[in-house]
Amino acid sequence: MSDKLTLLPAVDVQGGQAVQLVRGEAGTEKTFGDPLAAARRWQDAGAEWLHLVDLDAAFGRGSNAELLAEIISTLDLKVELSGGIRDDATLDRALGTGCRRVNIGTAALENPAWCERIIGEHGDRIGIAIDVKGTQLAARGWVREGGDWAEAIDRLSDAGCRTFVVTDVQSDGMLTGPNLELLRAVAERTDAEVIASGGIARLDDLTALRGLVPTGVTGAIIGTALYVGNFSLPQALDAAGR
């Protein structure tokens, strides 16, 4: 079994621009320009995956669907697509872009039966985003709380979910380090792959996450630290054991 940690550089799109939020809160964004240029930069630097998010769709205030579809069709990367996928129509449109996997967030809390059905239909092309505040799930735009995270992991694992993207909301965009305890706890509850999201600030954080690969933490989304230059993507890939 490989001990490599798969890295997914993030491109979060709002109003047609690449941005990064703090704790997922609207109004905290820093803007980083053309999202296709950002995505190309990570591809050229050696990324195999991209974490692509439509923030406007996630917050229910619009859509960048056409732009995201163009980015996916232009790139030669595996793309995990996220943001505002809550029903069959938005799911079909997302899957139709040619992305490798879609992430379902809020809908997993508000409509678990639908999530179980689409996992059954689409298998490993469906990932479930588990956003955690303390012991509770954080819902739409991280504003509401949605129950105990462990119950959701158990239910969706039983339904056949193969990938959970786990974010400690308190650390997202804060550059305070990932919540290793939470990630280890999630990985111990499920046979699915666990992807870490939020808080990664230093190469040491990636080394620590790589130490969790045997437990089932197989990937990490990196955003703010890359954009502000804490390390380069090639340095991160080396730390992750490429």
Residue range 5-59, pLDDT digits in tens: 999 999 999 999 999 988 888 888 899 999 999 999 999 999 999 999 999 999 8
Tokens of 110: 């508000």
Instruction: Evaluate whether residue 218 is within a structural domain.
Output: yes
Instruction: Evaluate whether residue 234 is within a structural domain.
Output: yes
**CA neighbor of 225 nearest in space, from 72, 37, 32, 56:** 32
Q: Is 131 marked active-site? A: yes
Q: How many structural domains does the chain have?
A: 1
| 219/210 Cα distance (integer angstroms) | 8
**CA neighbor of 39 nearest in space, from 65, 82, 8:** 8
Pairing of strands 6-14, 217-222: parallel
Q: Is 12 marked active-site? A: yes
**CA neighbor of 43 nearest in space, from 1, 14, 71:** 71
Tokens of 194: 């666990």
| 221/199 Cα distance (integer angstroms) | 10
Phi, psi angles (nearest 5°) of residue 47:
-65, 145
Is 163 in contact with 132 (CB distance < 8 Å)? no
- pLDDT-derived band at 165 (thresholds 50, 70, 90) equals very high
User: Which residue of the set 56, 131, 168, 172 is catalytic?
Assistant: 131
Q: Is 7 helix (H, G, I), strand (E, B) or coil?
A: strand
Q: Give the chain's radius of gyration (CA, Å).
A: 16
Instruction: Evaluate whether residue 12 is within a structural domain.
Output: yes
Instruction: Evaluate whether residue 1 is within a structural domain.
Output: no
Instruction: Evaluate whether residue 92 is within a structural domain.
Output: yes
181-to-110, 111, 168 alpha-carbon distances in Å = 26, 28, 10
Instruction: Evaluate whether residue 190 is within a structural domain.
Output: yes
User: Which residue of the set 12, 54, 56, 172 is catalytic?
Assistant: 12
- pLDDT-derived band at 1 (thresholds 50, 70, 90) equals low
pTM, whole model, 2 decimals?
0.94
Q: Which domain holds residue 84?
A: 6-239
CATH number at residue 18: 3.20.20.70
Instruction: Evaluate whether residue 53 is within a structural domain.
Output: yes
pLDDT score, position 110: 80
Tokens of 174: 């804060």
Instruction: Evaluate whether residue 227 is within a structural domain.
Output: yes
